[in-house]
């Protein structure tokens, strides 16, 4: 069999963007996006995500009734994701100054519906918010709330939460999180597989085997609309940096086990100690935030300063020169695995040095990361000082 591929070496691509300008904090931006291109019909990957984004936009505009959200919302569909995240990366690079300064969060919907089993992921700073919103949205099959079914399917003990995925690679959050350090979240309703990037990813499969009545599409959109409005209208952006710090401390312990198993004389304990101190600062900030908000609306100037400091937390955990293996990947918290592009490497600057069995480099990376974690903790203290009127 002989196959001839007749295609142009260059193609024009198009992102679509719709902006709903914020009323009180127009320079603070929340972006929701998903890719519009596909290998074939792409009913699951990613017509489902595109549909959910459009429906979330329609629902938000309808709910606001002519009013505006507090912060600016951008609804995006990206082109050429399947060619290497081209559309979203071009957007991030082209508008990097505005995003680095004012972007609050990015919500990615890539395969939002192929069944009815909910799963979510993203930066640990936004996981509590995702769980909160999931408690308020009905399960697409009428089995209580999305959160209740998520917990039941995960089978977790009462004192634990369902596991959530890390920002690895393979989708359009990469430019936002891995490149600029903008917190991101994602979710979707999964189901039977076997059609990924195939000709079978078409409406017939979706309506016969996947989200057969498009109820999961609607649920994903409801989650998105509620999530976006919650972030857009929050007086203080609802990041949870206690969960963030605890999550990364656990990851640091795993790195120490990796170093020990490899027989490398690398002490990762200073990073663990830095995360512990970070978590203390996060808890202090949370206490101040709750007390100040309970006492009434703080002065606008205090809110502006506090939210600016909060936006800088994960930015301070990036390195301008990037990872040694890939300069474009600036986040030192999460990156895709350099060997496959999809799976996650946590604390990749240290992890890659350990993989290379370079103890001296790993030790230098430990020291570098400690400095950046301390800087991120200082941002939390700046946010607390702003709210406290200092």
Query: How far lies 77's CA from each of 15, 30, 197, 373, in Å?
Result: 6, 14, 19, 33
Residues 291-308: what's their mean pLDDT? 94
Instruction: Please spell the DSSP secondary structure of 272-288, one letter per residue.
Output: HHHHHHHHHHHHHHHHH
The residue ranking higher by pLDDT, 5 or 195, is: 195
For residues 344-362, average pLDDT: 95
Contact 186, 120 (CB under 8 A): yes
Which carries the bigger pLDDT value, residue 7 or residue 301? Answer: 301
Q: For every residue of 138-179, which 3-state class applies, written as one string?
A: ECCCCCCEHHHHHHHHHCCCCCCCCCCECCCCCCCHHHHHHH
Is a pLDDT exceeding 90 seen at residue 317? yes
Instruction: Quickly state the pLDDT bin for 169 (edges 50, 70, 90).
Output: confident
Query: What is the Cα–Cα distance from 383 to 302, expressed in whole angstroms?
Result: 9
Radius of gyration of the chain (CA): 21
Confidence of residue 101 (pLDDT cuts 50, 70, 90): very high
* pLDDT, position 2: 82
Whether pLDDT at 5 is above 80: no
Q: What gap in Å lies between CA 145 and CA 294, rounded to an integer?
A: 28
pLDDT at 120: 98
Q: What is the pLDDT of residue 236?
A: 97
Angle between helices 241-261 and 269-294 (to 10 degrees): 170
How large is the average pLDDT for residues 290-314? 95
For residues 1-7, give the mean pLDDT.
Answer: 75
Integer Cα distance of 351 and 191 in angstroms: 33
Specify which residues 16 forms β-bridges with: 77
Please compute the mean of the pLDDT values over residues 24-28 and round it to a whole number. 97
Inter-CA distances, 360 with 60, 238, 266, 365, Å: 52, 39, 8, 9
pLDDT at 323 over 90: yes
Mean confidence (pLDDT) of the chain: 96
Mean pLDDT of 376-380: 98
Tell me the longest C-alpha to C-alpha distance in the chain. 75
Top-confidence residue, 26 or 168: 26
- What would the mean pLDDT of 213-222 be, rounded to a whole number? 98
Average pLDDT over residues 163-180: 93
Q: Is the pLDDT of residue 91 over 90?
A: yes
At 152 the pLDDT is 96
* % of the chain residues with pLDDT over 90: 92
- pLDDT value of residue 192: 85
Q: Please give the Cα distance from 59 to 173 (Å, whole number).
A: 23
Q: What is the pLDDT of residues 226-245, one digit of tens each?
A: 999 999 999 999 999 999 99
- 360-374 pLDDT, tens digit per residue, is 999 999 999 999 999
Name the packing angle between helices 215-233 and 49-64 (round to 10°): 50
- Looking at the predicted structure, is the pLDDT value of residue 7 above 80? no
Angle (CA) 35-153-126 rounded to 5° is: 50
pLDDT for 261 equals 92
Work out the average pLDDT over 290-295: 96
What is the model's pLDDT at position 373? Answer: 98
Could you tell me the pLDDT band of residue 304, with boundaries at 50, 70 and 90? very high
pLDDT band at 11 (very low <50, low <70, confident <90, very high): confident
Q: What is the mean pLDDT of residues 272-299?
A: 96
According to the model, what pLDDT value does residue 167 have?
86
């Amino acid at each position: 069999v002989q196959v001839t591929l007749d295609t142009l070496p260059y193609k024009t691509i198009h992102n679509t963007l719709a902006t709903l300008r914020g009323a009180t904090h127009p320079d603070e931006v929340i972006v929701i996006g998903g890719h519009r291109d596909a290998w074939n019909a792409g009913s699951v990957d990613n017509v489902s995500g595109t549909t959910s984004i459009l429906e979330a936009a329609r629902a938000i505009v309808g709910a606001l009734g002519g009013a505006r959200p507090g912060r600016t919302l951008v609804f995006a569909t990206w082109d050429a994701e399947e060619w290497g995240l081209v559309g979203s990366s071009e957007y991030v690079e082209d508008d990097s100054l505005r995003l680095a300064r004012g972007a609050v969060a990015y919500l990615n919907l890539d395969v939002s519906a192929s069944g009815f089993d909910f799963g979510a992921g993203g930066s640990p700073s936004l996981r509590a918010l995702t769980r909160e919103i999931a408690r308020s949205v009905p399960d697409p099959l009428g089995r209580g709330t999305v959160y209740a079914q998520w917990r039941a399917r995960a089978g977790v003990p009462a004192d634990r939460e369902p596991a959530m995925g890390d920002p690895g690679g393979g989708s359009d959050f990469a430019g936002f999180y891995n490149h600029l350090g903008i917190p991101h979240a994602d979710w979707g309703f999964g189901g039977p597989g076997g059609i990924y990037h195939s000709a079978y990813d078409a409406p017939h499969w979706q309506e016969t085997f996947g989200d057969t009545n498009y109820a999961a599409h609607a649920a994903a959109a409801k989650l998105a609309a509620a999530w976006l409005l919650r972030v857009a209208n929050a007086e203080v952006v609802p990041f949870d940096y206690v969960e963030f710090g605890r999550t990364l401390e656990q990851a640091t312990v795993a790195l120490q086990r990796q170093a020990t198993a490899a027989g490398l004389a690398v002490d990762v304990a200073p990073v663990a100690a830095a995360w512990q101190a970070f978590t203390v600062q996060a808890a202090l900030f949370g206490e101040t935030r709750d007390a100040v908000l309970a006492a009434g609306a703080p002065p606008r100037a205090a809110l502006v300063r506090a939210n600016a400091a909060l936006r800088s937390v994960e930015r301070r955990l990036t390195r301008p020169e990037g990872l040694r293996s890939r300069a474009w990947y600036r986040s030192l918290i999460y990156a895709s695995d350099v060997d496959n592009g999809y799976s996650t490497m946590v604390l990749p600057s240290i992890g890659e040095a350990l993989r290379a069995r370079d103890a001296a480099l790993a030790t230098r990376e430990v020291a570098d990361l400690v400095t950046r974690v301390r800087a991120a903790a200082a941002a939390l203290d700046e946010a607390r000082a702003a709210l406290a009127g200092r």
